[in-house]
Amino acid sequence: MAQNAKRVYARTSFGPGSHRQGKNKHAPRPPRLEGARDRAADRVAPVDVDQVTRGRGRGGPVELLELPGGVSNSDAIAALELEPAVAYAEPNWIVRKAVLSTDPYFTNGSLWGMYGDASSPANQYGSQAAEAWAADNTGSRNVYVGVIDEGVQYTHGDLNANAWTNPFDPKNGIDDDGNGYKDDKNGWDFAGNNNTLYDGGTKGNRDDHGTHVTGTIGAEGNNPDAQRNVVGVNWSVTYISTKFLGTNGGTTANAIKALDYLTDLKTRHGLNIVASNNSWGGGGFSQGVLDAIVRAAKKDILFVAAAGNSGTNNDTTASYPSNYNTKAGAGYDSVIAVAAIDKTGALASFSQYGPTTVDLGAPGVGVWSTTAFNRYSSFNGTSMATPHVTGASALYKASHPTTTAADVKGAILSSTTPTPSLNAKTVTGGRLNAGGF
C-alpha cells in the first residue's frame, strides 16, 4: 500500500536507558526534553504536530509530523535520523481492510463457519463454535473484545445487546474519565476524531466491514425477533468499537491510538479485554504499531490479525500487521495470524499463508454476517476468518476466566484440527476448533 506522502511520525527517547534505531546507533546523551524535541522538529519544519501516544510511553513520546510542501517522507526521515534524541522515524502508512468482493449470487445463507462435526446442520470445516454451544458455553458479557476496523452499527438488531456502553464517561460534554476522548460512550472514531462510530447512512456502505466482523465475533443468539437471523461465535460478549478505517483506509498513527485506547481501558478501569480484532493490512513495518501491540500484550490483550488476501507466502514477503511478533518486548507473542479456508477445507485461493508466520486457518469464504443499515451479507476474505478466531478467544476466556493471554493463545493453537490444505502452510497445520478447548 502507498504511504501517506506528507506525514511521518517519530519517537524521541531521553535518558541513559534510551536507544536509537537507524544509521546513527550511538546511545544519545540525555538532552533536555523540550530542547531536544524542538531541535528534532526544526530539521523538517512541520506544518502541524499531533501527539500519537499520551505520555512518554516506552522511552519517549510519539508524534505525527505533517510535512511542508516540497519535503518528501524519505528526506524528512533521513533528517530526523541525524538527531540523537530520535529513537525512530517512519512513514504514517495507509492500511486497508482485508476483504474481497461479495458474491451477489451466493444464496444458501447457511452459517457454515459456525458449524461443527456433530451440529445440525454440520460441517467439519466450520469453527466448531456450535460444539461449544452444545457444551453450554455461549460466551459472557463480562468478556470484552476490541474491534479495530471501520465503525460498527451498534444499533443493529443482532448487535445492540452486546455493544459496550462506557460507564466511565457518560455523554454530558465532559471528558469524565480523562482519557482525552470526550463522551466516548460506545468507543471512539479515530479516523474522524469524534464519538460518532457509525457513519453508514441510508445505504450502509461505509461501515459494512466493521459491522460484518463484529457479527462474526458476537451477533446475539436466540433473539426473539425472527428477522434477527445470524449468530456469532459468542452469543454474549461485549465488543468495543475503535474505528480507524474510513472510506480511504486508515493510518498507522490512528491504529496506534486505537490500540492504546483499549490498553488504557484495561489498565485504568480493569475491563476484561481478551483480544483486539484486526482485519486489515497494508504498508510496511511500523515500529510505532509494534510498540503499541507490545503495550497491549503486556496487559494480556491478544492481537488477532488477518494474514492477507494476496495469496503469497508471509514467510518470504512480510505482511503487516499479521507478521508482527511481541515476544522480545512482552515475553510472549500476542499475535495470532489467521488464514482463510472454504467450506471444503481448502485454503482459499486468495489467502496468504506462512509455515512460520501464519498460525492457523478459519472460515473465510461465503461468510454471512451483519452489515450496516440492518442488513446481512456474505463476504470473503481473511478479514472474515480473523473474527472467528477472535470470537473463539473470547469464548475460551468466558469458560476459563483466570487464564492469561498466553494461555488463551496456547489453547487456540493446541486445539486446532489437522487440515491437509494447511499442512506446511501454517504454524499449526490446522484449522480453528472452538469446541475443542
The yes-or-no verdict on residue 200 having pLDDT over 90 is: no
Q: How far apart are CA 288 and CA 260, in angstroms?
A: 11
pLDDT at position 420, please? 98
Ranges for all domains in the chain classified under CATH 3.30.70? 3-93
pLDDT at position 232, please? 93
pLDDT at position 80, please? 86
Q: Give me the mean pLDDT over the 129-153 stretch.
A: 94
**Averaged confidence pLDDT in the chain:** 87
pLDDT at position 106, please? 28
Q: Give me the mean pLDDT over the 93-99 stretch.
A: 72
pLDDT at position 15, please? 34
Q: How far apart are CA 275 and CA 266, in angstroms?
A: 11
CATH fold group of domain 112-431:
Rossmann fold (3.40.50)
CB proximity list for 253: less than 8 A, separation 6 or greater: 7, 9, 50, 52, 64, 92, 288
Catalytic residues: 149, 209, 383
pLDDT in tens, 275-300: 999 999 999 999 999 999 999 999 99
Q: What is the largest CA-CA distance in the chain?
A: 67
pLDDT in tens, 378-437: 999 999 999 999 999 999 999 999 999 999 999 999 999 999 999 999 999 999 999 998
Cα dist from 377 to 135, 229, 308, 326, 345, whole Å: 29, 11, 20, 34, 22
Ranges for all domains in the chain classified under CATH 3.40.50.200? 112-431
The yes-or-no verdict on residue 209 having pLDDT over 50 is: yes
pLDDT at position 204, please? 55
Confidence of residue 12 (pLDDT cuts 50, 70, 90): low
Structure pTM?
Answer: 0.88
The yes-or-no verdict on residue 19 having pLDDT over 80 is: no
The yes-or-no verdict on residue 22 having pLDDT over 50 is: no
CATH fold group of domain 3-93:
Alpha-Beta Plaits (3.30.70)
pLDDT at position 94, please? 86
- Buried residues in 204-220 as b, exposed as e (16+ CB within 10 A): bebbbbbbbbbbbbbbb
Confidence of residue 27 (pLDDT cuts 50, 70, 90): very low
The yes-or-no verdict on residue 14 having pLDDT over 60 is: no
The yes-or-no verdict on residue 193 having pLDDT over 50 is: yes
User: Are 287 and 324 a contacting pair, CB within 8 Å?
Assistant: no
User: Are 337 and 351 a contacting pair, CB within 8 Å?
Assistant: no
Instruction: Catalogue the long-range contacts made by 109-115 (C-beta closer than 8 Å, 24 or more residues apart).
Output: 109/368, 109/378, 110/368, 111/230, 111/231, 111/368, 112/343, 112/363, 112/366, 113/216, 113/362, 113/363, 113/367, 113/384, 113/388, 114/231, 114/233
